[in-house]
Amino acid sequence: MIRSMTGFGTAQTKVGGATVSLEVRSVNNRHFKCTVRVPEGMESLEAELESRCSRRLGRGSVTISLRVTEGEAAVAARIDADRLGQYMGQLMQALPDTRARAMMDDAGARASVIASLLALPGVVVSDGGASFLHAVQPAALALLDEACDRLLAMRTTEGVALRDHVRACATTLGDRLATVRARAPKVVAAYQERLRQRINALLAEVGAAVEPSDLLREVAIFAERSDIAEEVERLAAHLAQLDALLADSNPEPVGRTLDFLAQEMLREANTIASKSADAEISRHVVEMKTAIDRIKEQAQNAE
């Protein structure tokens, strides 16, 4: 089965009065790469979300976004006024009276002192954060599965269009390859006839004739040098493998294999082009290489 790497899925639920929503987006990437975005204080969920997602999606650049709304109070931090007062009292005792009064009268200095005090241990606390996080964790994992299901459905739908395009290119490639296969034996015969005519024209001026054995030897050398039968057969085998990859019965992701197969097909087409001295075959090879390039482009979009 061939699936696109581009997709989007979303899901949401209620947890303790809060709305928890999760989005999964994916775009093309040669490998699997995951970026997880979670609210502050929920960083411990990142590794498990990424690990679970990697088991569902084999390839692509994936972004997971977890959001919590309408229930921020459940996880919101609060200031411990008693602890802050204790720190403030100690600070005022440690400073001379004149300096303390000057500091408190200056708005900028006062704000700086308050910011420093808030960073001290025990001043900012989150009473309900741990319990809320414990409740959110299973919900977030369930939402991830639901969002991935929707993303995979989108990937599969786009994969159908991608598969049809690749098959059209493969059909063009197969048609041109069949023409090249049929043309190849005629190239040697045409070369033999052209060589005979040229040699006879040259030797006629001196009243001599070409020896059949000499002519056959030259034709044999040309035939061996321009023989493309092996490359044609390998390219035909690659096309058969491509057809098997695109079959609906194949459950595995095919993107990487398709990319490698396109490279191998291009290699064989280039060898055919370099061996053949026939203009008609060269023209068909150009069309074959164009079809292979299109297959390779689509392979970059396939999971």
CA distance 227 to 144: 56
Residue 232, both tokens: 């044609």
- pLDDT at residue 294 above 60? yes
- Each residue's pLDDT tens digit, 41-85: 788 889 999 999 999 888 889 999 999 886 554 555 567 677 777
Write the CA distances from 96 to 92, 101, 186, integer angstroms: 8, 9, 107
- Each residue's pLDDT tens digit, 90-127: 777 776 666 655 666 666 666 777 777 777 777 666 55
Q: What is the model's pTM? A: 0.62
- pLDDT at residue 285 above 80? yes
At the topology level of CATH, where does 7-74+129-156 sit? Ribosomal Protein S5; domain 2 (3.30.230)
For residue 38, give the nearest of 13, 58, 11, 20 by alpha carbon. 20
Q: 114 CB contacts (<8 Å, ≥6 apart)?
A: none
- Each residue's pLDDT tens digit, 192-250: 556 555 655 555 555 555 556 655 565 555 555 556 778 888 999 999 999 888 887 77
Q: Is 50 exposed, middle or buried (0-12, 13-18, 19+ CB in 10 A)?
A: middle
Do residues 2 and 258 make contact, with C-beta atoms less than 8 angstroms apart? yes
Q: 277 CB contacts (<8 Å, ≥6 apart)?
A: 187, 191, 226
CA distance 66 to 109: 38
For the four alpha carbons of 9, 64, 245 and 178, in that order, the dihedral sign comes to positive
- Each residue's pLDDT tens digit, 175-185: 999 998 888 77
At the topology level of CATH, where does 158-299 sit? Butyryl-CoA Dehydrogenase, subunit A; domain 3 (1.20.140)
List the end-to-end C-alpha distance of the chain, in Å, as a whole number.
10
CA distance 297 to 92: 70
Phi/psi of residue 254, nearest 5 degrees: -120, 5
For residue 226, give the nearest of 296, 278, 190, 175 by alpha carbon. 278
CA distance 121 to 123: 6
For the four alpha carbons of 268, 271, 276 and 277, in that order, the dihedral sign comes to positive
| Crossing angle of helices 129-204 and 229-245, rounded to 10° | 160
Cα Dmax for the chain: 129
For residue 34, give the nearest of 136, 146, 148, 134 by alpha carbon. 148
Q: For residue 140, which amino acid is it? A: A
pLDDT at residue 225, as a whole number: 59
Domain ranges of the chain: 7-74+129-156, 78-125, 158-299
Pairing of strands 7-15, 78-79: unpaired
Residue that is written with structure tokens 């057809």 in the block = 243
